[in-house]
Amino acid sequence: MAKWTPTHEAPEPLEGPVVATITGGTILWFAMFVVQLPFYGWFADRELLWWLWTCAAGGGLGLIGIWYVRGRDAALKRHAAEEAARAERGEQPG
């Protein structure tokens, strides 16, 4: 089997409002959990409690995601500021 070699370079990753996107998704997961909570007995009777706990897990993991993307966003901004300062001083990027 021949080794695959790319024929072109990969495109740059898309950047957008990542923190807002993750925060919005987390809010939706928690909202779905809260909306389903009054129907706990109905879900339990039909052995569908996993729906409820999936929403809770999505919200909890979303909190971890918010922490992660906020740190990533701050690191990207620090790096851009350092590169701008280097360019201003006339140093080589590195």
Q: pLDDT tens digits for 76-85?
A: 999 999 999 9
- The reported pLDDT for the residue numbered 90 is 82
Mean pLDDT of 56-71: 98
Span between the terminal Cα atoms of the chain, in Å:
38
Give the model confidence (pLDDT) of 29-54 as tens digits: 999 999 999 999 999 999 999 999 99
pTM: 0.77
Cβ atoms within 10 Å of 26's Cβ, excluding its own: 19
Q: What angle is formed at CA 50 by the lines to CA 62 and CA 18, rounded to 5 degrees? A: 15
Q: For residue 24, give Cα distances in angstroms to 6, 17, 32, 57.
A: 36, 11, 12, 15
Q: Is the pLDDT of residue 14 over 90?
A: no
- The reported pLDDT for the residue numbered 44 is 97
